[in-house]
Chains A and B, each alone.
Chain A
């Protein structure tokens, strides 16, 4: 049986990380040169880890399925990256950032990890600045900040609406430097399809070369997954279309526990679905809520043009319900409020599944130029996609699947329950509890990769300094490779009638309707059955044209969707188990009279870490109790 040991160092919260760093075992420089590390992923987590480990002297093999590391999904992050710099002198501190994250996560994250992320946040900003990341500056030449949802200070650093791109290109540049030094070997257009475990330790991966179709073996002393989240389970989401859970899922099936899978963030401000062929939803950054006001008409079915609806006929429902935070309530609260209004029949647009995000007042007050400076590229993007200008009329927005707080369970050292297998960035579960606050993923992914993992991995590798290069001509690699080949063979020989995408769409719909913004027991149970049936249909009727030994995008997608059926089952299992509402997880059975989420701390103040026990077998639940010693657990209120 797998036991959970979160390995949190003892001592006061603020001293844990310092103490860990001071006392952890180290690998000396001569030995680092003899050790190999696989890093899967080149997003902010993967690129930062690969380059930091390379700088330390390890030999790193870095993988991504895109044609170049610079296109990892992190590139699409828009709004910003948090740090506790307190440059605005508005009372920010490491403790306050920690506090906001734990509260924002609705008291379902691990104190020690969150505090550490807050602690290294300032180093992350320093490092990116040194790497030449062009964050926004003020006229004095200093870095500018803005505020993001769910907090009352301005701690978000940004580069217009493309902060993720700029940070990722910074991380990519540090990666390139290590590639040029021969410390990192880059493997692009490679997809990890299996994890190799030798004597209980993660020692390698099996990949498919996506150009030639060749199945390849790679070994290392440790394996790091930085493979992102599983938000594309809804098919339509704000994620890149190729984002997928498969790497983490393979690790899960090989023994890594998966934590809080049902904690999925639905982002309140995305461009609503425009047609049935749509492949993805485009996010409009949360930063827009700093100046935009969200409203719907006070009367149902008011068909007037939004500009013609006078003030007294508008319902600024967030300002009405949450006077303290107004339009800046956290994402889960804003999303649910939008859904509530639309379900009640007040939604705008032809579908009724949209609300207005209006900049009229901000433009009148600050001038068009000021608004353009802050959001110019987002407004342009909105206009390109919808054909209407947010300078002239309100944006229309609706919630969309966006981020997964759940992920592989990791201990304080970011190691999964498989020795030598680490999970960093969005692929782990650790920092955001049941709801992530804006601009804190870029912070966490970069902190994990640049400042945390490079320390903690030494503690494990210190035992491996006498282990020679791991050979790949062993039974374990043979077996793993055979598993991969058999599965691909099976998939391609189904030769049914329906496309992979049609299955993904149907799965997405089931999950959106039953395991999306709001969930109940009956719906979840129905979804479980529907997913099971859809999975069977898939394995009997999916059509994958082409060959195994060639570039075959349908085959790539099929492998990922096949895993998604299993992820869906686990998500639903977790959502059924957690009969409380917390953060993004809203169980209709557990709400207050005015429709707010009602937590059940007595029974659910734990991390649900699930153990895979075999195909269609019952999942085993492990609980990690959450203990709050440095923060008073309260009802989360933004009123």
Chain B
């Protein structure tokens, strides 16, 4: 199968990037999208050209490393999956495919399709934890947790930190990411003790890092490869206001 690939090429963080077009006839419908890029890279390397740089590691939708804009959508045209799970069977022979890195002020481009998502780590460092030292935990059954709360916490906890929500949002807001973490801890008795400090610190750091405001467009939820719900954002807002009031 043949595809026309228009790929964003940028040597490093300071150089200016541009789209480069590749007519590639080595694709096949059984390939994953990333395997197709691997195959393209093989042909580039054999010609002595620089391959297209992109992040990936687990290639099974759980590490959050991959992630790129494909034909105007984060992770491509199929909802609820990461880029590494995108299959070439969703593309037509002869189709033009435009591939770009995430575009957000807080995620500067490092090279080609690779961006710097360290801002997410910084938000987590600001308060995304429960302060408990090794050796000080009570027996795991000492604090029972209502099953439906625990299930909700799980649903919030499955964020893979890929950055799709930020990339999908016209304001480049990180609210879905932050809210998922805040929710997970707010739903657990163990997390309640520091809940107020946590939400304030994480929001403040998010603002400082240049993420935009949330205007409730819902694009984050619609594109999230893990289907994380914007109910989390509502919960975050509640947590935040009650933290501010008290």
Contact = CB atoms under 8 A, between A and B. Distances in A.
Contacts of A132: 130, 153, 184-185, 188, 190-191
* Interface-central residue, B125, B140, B158, B188, by most chain A CB under 10 Å: B140
B141 A143 contact: yes
A499 B45 contact: yes
Nearest to A75: B63
Contact of A130 (B11, B87, B130, B158): B130
B232 to A, nearest CB: 14
Nearest to B187: A134
Interface residues of B, number: 79
A73 B56 CA distance: 11
Interface string A46-87: 000001100100000000001111110101100000000101
A173 B130 contact: yes
A451 interface: yes
A244 to B, nearest CB: 11
Interface string B158-172: 101100000000000
Interface string A154-197: 00000110101110010011101101100000101000000000
Contacts of A173: 124, 128-130
Interface in B16-58: 28, 30-32, 34-36, 38-39, 42, 44-46, 48-51, 53, 55-58
B117 A67 contact: yes
A372 to B, nearest CB: 13
Contact of B129 (A176, A275, A450): A176
B121 A176 contact: yes
B55 A126 contact: no
A240 B57 contact: yes
A176 B46 contact: no
A566 interface: no
B87 to A, nearest CB: 8
B215 to A, nearest CB: 27
Given A277-B31, A277-B38, A143 B140 contact: yes
A277 B87 CA distance: 13
Interface in A129-158: 129-132, 134-143
Interface stretch (A278-286, A574-582, A627-635): A278-286
Contacts of A174: 129, 132, 134
5 contacts: A76-B63, A129-B143, A130-B136, A130-B137, A134-B184
A479 to B, nearest CB: 30
Interface stretch (B68-76, B96-104, B144-152, B237-245): B144-152
A351 B12 CA distance: 44
B207 interface: no
Given A67-B117, A545-B50, A76 B184 contact: no
B124 A381 contact: no
A131 B141 contact: no
Given A143-B140, A384-B81, A501-B42, A277 B35 contact: yes
Given A129-B190, A543-B45, A67 B150 contact: no
B31 A129 contact: no
Interface stretch (A433-441, A548-556, A609-617): A548-556
Contact of A68 (B87, B110, B120): B120
Contacts of A164: 62
B42 A551 contact: no
A454 interface: yes
Contacts of B139: 126
Contacts of B39: 277
Contact of B140 (A70, A125, A280): A125
B50 A546 contact: yes
B63 A240 contact: yes
B59 A279 contact: yes
B93 interface: no
Interface in A234-272: 240-242
B200 interface: no
Given A140-B144, A173-B124, A176-B128, A127 B118 contact: no
A385 interface: yes
A146 B208 CA distance: 44
B9 to A, nearest CB: 13
Nearest to B121: A68
A137 B143 CA distance: 12
A52 B137 contact: no
How many chain A residues sit at the interface, stated as a range, is: 35 or more
A134 B151 CA distance: 8
Contact of A160 (B55, B111, B120, B154): B154
Contacts of B151: 137
Contact of B65 (A67, A126, A278): A67
Contacts of B143: 129
A141 B125 contact: no
A578 B58 CA distance: 33
Contact of A551 (B38, B110, B154): B110
B133 A137 contact: no
A324 B144 CA distance: 35
B38 A162 contact: no
Contacts of B49: 545
A79 to B, nearest CB: 13
B117 A240 contact: no
Nearest to B146: A141
Contact of A179 (B42, B81, B125, B160): B125
A370 interface: no
Interface string B80-94: 010001010100000
B158 A162 contact: yes
A476 interface: no
Contact of A67 (B55, B126, B127, B132): B55
Q: What are the 6 A-B residue pairs with the smallest beta carbon separation, nearest first?
A: A141-B144, A130-B137, A173-B129, A126-B137, A129-B140, A134-B154
Nearest to B124: A176
B150 A134 contact: yes
B161 A68 contact: yes
Contact of B147 (A138, A186, A385): A138
A123 interface: yes
B136 to A, nearest CB: 8
B46 A497 contact: yes
Contacts of B110: 211, 551
Nearest to B35: A277
A241 B46 CA distance: 21
A469 interface: no
